[in-house]
């Protein structure tokens, strides 16, 4: 479990970016951190692996205070994929990029090879094995950054803005992938603005505004609450916008998928028309 107790943080004296945040990320959680630009989301997750230490309060990763552990020790458990892959990638080939952390964590050559193969396959990057990360598109770089972290098999996987630069199909693959590793028991935390992406993940949302956690709850609750949507600078998912006014006719509010929506409407439209 990652536990934040009354955490406050300032980059500059007097300007608090996180304000008195208390939360728990439990093992097996699938969590989406959402909220406006500048709400403190990235600052929050940088506390999870000790990259940032709280100005006040404390952060415990499996009962170890991040103040008394090194980032290297914490990273073995808490893998963080940065928002901008250019800040993370530096090797000459995709393969070397993935091997780098594995070598540092002391994996042997056979293990490195096996894990590299595995993550390249998982993220559809096999054809880029020998390519320079710098020549890849933004979306591909993002997947390489994810692969390089996933390779050392961290217990907690934290990803900052995984959908940026990914097209529709890649996003849908990513959603399936994250849902699957979450079902297998890995703890997954994503920071994202992508309402439609989150709407179809079965995850919990942690909503932030101005350095505080202002709400937390399942997707069906948070993404149908107009008040919270406004406070978090989000927009309602498109289909919720459609179904919200229909709720007085007995339709559910929390409809996120097109198939579900069309079935609901097809079943009921004829009935309502006759009525």
Partner 1 sequence: MIEIEELVYTYPEAGKPALKDVNLQIRKGEFVVLAGPSGCGKTTLCRCLNGLIPHFYGGDLSGKIQVAQLDVLSHPTRELAQHVGLVFQNPENQLFSLTVERDVAFGLENLGLPPAEIRRRIDWALEAVGIGKLKDSAPHELSGGEQQKAAIACVLAMRPSVMVFDEPTSFLDPASAKSIMETVAKLNRELGITVLMVEHRLEMALKHASRMVVMEKGGILADGDPREILSGAAEKLRGIGIPKVAELHRLLAEKNLIPPPVSLSPEEFSAKLMEALNR
Binding site for partner 1 (CB under 8 A): 35-38, 84, 137-140, 161, 164-171, 193, 195-196, 232-239, 241-242, 245, 258, 261-262, 265-266, 269-270, 272-273
The minimum distance between CB 249 and partner 1, in angstroms, equals: 9
Q: Of 153, 151, 159, which Cα lies nearest the Cα of 175?
A: 159
- Residue 140 is encoded by which pair of tokens? 């591909």
At residue 241, what are phi and psi to the nearest 5 degrees? -55, -35
User: CB-wise, 57 or 165, nearer to partner 1?
Assistant: 165
The minimum distance between CB 257 and partner 1, in angstroms, equals: 8
User: CB-wise, 114 or 241, nearer to partner 1?
Assistant: 241
User: CB-wise, 106 or 275, nearer to partner 1?
Assistant: 275
The minimum distance between CB 164 and partner 1, in angstroms, equals: 5
User: CB-wise, 118 or 173, nearer to partner 1?
Assistant: 173
SS3 244: coil
The minimum distance between CB 245 and partner 1, in angstroms, equals: 6
* 214 close to 207: Cβ distance less than 8 angstroms: yes
At residue 18, what are phi and psi to the nearest 5 degrees? -120, 135
User: CB-wise, 171 or 204, nearer to partner 1?
Assistant: 171
User: CB-wise, 102 or 234, nearer to partner 1?
Assistant: 234
The minimum distance between CB 116 and partner 1, in angstroms, equals: 23
How far is the C-alpha of 56 from the C-alpha of 213, rounded, in Å?
A: 16
Can you state the angle between helices 138-150 and 94-104, rounded to 10 degrees?
Answer: 30
* 188 close to 31: Cβ distance less than 8 angstroms: yes
Q: Could you give the strand order of the β-sheet that contains 156-160, starting from the edge strand earlier in sequence?
A: 78-81, 156-160, 187-191, 30-35, 204-209, 212-218
User: CB-wise, 52 or 234, nearer to partner 1?
Assistant: 234
The minimum distance between CB 130 and partner 1, in angstroms, equals: 14
The minimum distance between CB 76 and partner 1, in angstroms, equals: 30
Q: Of 173, 235, 229, which Cα lies nearest the Cα of 201?
A: 173
Helices (H), the chain: 41-45, 71-77, 94-104, 109-122, 138-150, 168-183, 195-199, 219-222, 226-231, 238-243, 258-274
How far is the C-alpha of 66 from the C-alpha of 74, rounded, in Å?
A: 8
- Residue 221 is encoded by which pair of tokens? 């609750």
User: CB-wise, 95 or 160, nearer to partner 1?
Assistant: 160
The minimum distance between CB 53 and partner 1, in angstroms, equals: 23
């Amino acid at each position: 479990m990652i536990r934040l107790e009354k955490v406050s943080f300032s980059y500059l004296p007097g300007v608090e970016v996180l304000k008195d945040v208390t939360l728990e990320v439990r093992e097996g959680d699938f969590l989406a951190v959402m909220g406006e630009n500048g709400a403190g989301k990235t600052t929050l997750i940088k506390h999870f692996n000790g990259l940032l230490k709280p100005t006040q309060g404390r952060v415990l990763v499996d009962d170890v205070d991040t103040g008394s552990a090194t980032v290297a020790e914490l990273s073995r458990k808490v893998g963080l994929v940065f928002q901008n892959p250019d800040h993370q990638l530096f090797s000459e080939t995709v393969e070397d990029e993935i091997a780098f952390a594995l070598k540092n964590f002391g994996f042997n050559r056979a293990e490195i090879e096996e894990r590299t193969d595995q993550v390249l396959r998982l993220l559809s990057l096999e054809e880029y094995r020998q390519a320079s990360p710098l020549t890849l598109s933004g979306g591909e770089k993002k997947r390489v950054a994810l692969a390089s972290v996933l390779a050392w098999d961290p217990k907690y996987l934290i990803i900052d803005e995984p959908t940026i630069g990914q097209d529709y199909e890649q996003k849908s693959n990513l959603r399936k992938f994250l849902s699957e590793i979450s079902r297998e028991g890995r703890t997954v935390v994503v920071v994202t603005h992508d309402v439609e992406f989150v709407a179809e993940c079965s995850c919990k949302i942690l909503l932030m505004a101005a350095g505080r956690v202002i709400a937390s709850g399942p997707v069906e609750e948070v993404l149908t609450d107009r008040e919270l949507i406004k406070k978090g600078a989000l927009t309602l998912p498109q289909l919720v916008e459609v179904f919200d006014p229909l709720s007085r006719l007995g339709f559910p509010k929390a409809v996120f998928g097109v198939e579900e929506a069309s079935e609901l409407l097809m079943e009921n439209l004829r009935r309502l028309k006759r009525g």
